Amino acid sequence: MGRKTNITLIGMPASGKSSVGIVLAKRLGKKFVDTDIVIQERYGKLLKELIKEYGDDGFRKIEDEVNASLDVTNSIISPGGSVVYGTKAMEHLKEISVVIYLELSYTAIKSRLGDLRERGITLKEGQTLKDLYLERTPLYEKYADITVNEMKKTLANTIDEICEMLGEKPRKKRNFKGRRLSKAKSKEKTVKERNGKDGNSFKSGIQGKNKKRYFKKNEN
């Protein structure tokens, strides 16, 4: 198999898989695929409705099946955080893509998360978010080809680090300030040149008129 054209982002919910994925896709000229949306479109229901109907275990089977059958190229793939429970799915994603783990501390994840059910997060009875974090972290580390720690990094910093690790050339920053200054100077120069030419002719015209008036007054 040649160079993999797909990239899969894994990590806890709220780790920024969608945000990073969308920007990374634009940066690298790839498509963005959110597998949660693929699941919803295939079943015609929201994730929370599927969880309610099939239960946590049933939903994970659905998730594993859909992710294992994903057929895409030149794409940034953003699966749900529980994708790492599916052996078939992860084997398939490892085969068709470079897997990148977006790592964040538990404290950061907790502060970012809102309603767990709305995000499609499945918790066992009596399980806490901290328990889930500790349970999943080793799985993310196990399947990752690359790990990117996002702590104290902006979205742009994270994207740059991923591109660097993938061997992509860093994007050149556009010097808008310098461009604006050069345009302003050019405009100022043009105005000065125009005023200089127009000013001289205008001045000559005034002097000519004054001379005519002067001679007319003396003639009278």
Pick out the residues of the known binding site for ATP.
Answer: 14-19, 119
**What residues are designated binding site?**
14-19, 36, 60, 81, 119, 136
Spell out the alpha helix ranges (H) of the chain. Answer: 17-28, 35-43, 47-68, 87-96, 106-112, 129-143, 155-165, 176-219
Amino acid identity, residue 69?
S
Give the full edge-to-edge strand order of the sheet including 97-103. 31-34, 75-78, 6-10, 97-103, 146-149
> What is the DSSP secondary structure assignment for residue 59, as one 8-state letter?
H
> Which among 31, 53, 25 has a CA at the least distance from the CA of 40?
53
The b-or-e profile of 39-50 (16+ CB within 10 A means b, else e) is bbeeeeeebeeb
**What residues are designated binding site for Mg(2+)?**
18
Note whether 84 and 10 are within 8 A (CB): yes
Burial class (CB in 10 A: 0-12, 13-18, 19+), 24: buried
Strand 75-78 relative to strand 6-10: parallel, antiparallel, unpaired?
Answer: parallel
**What residues are designated binding site for substrate?**
36, 60, 81, 136
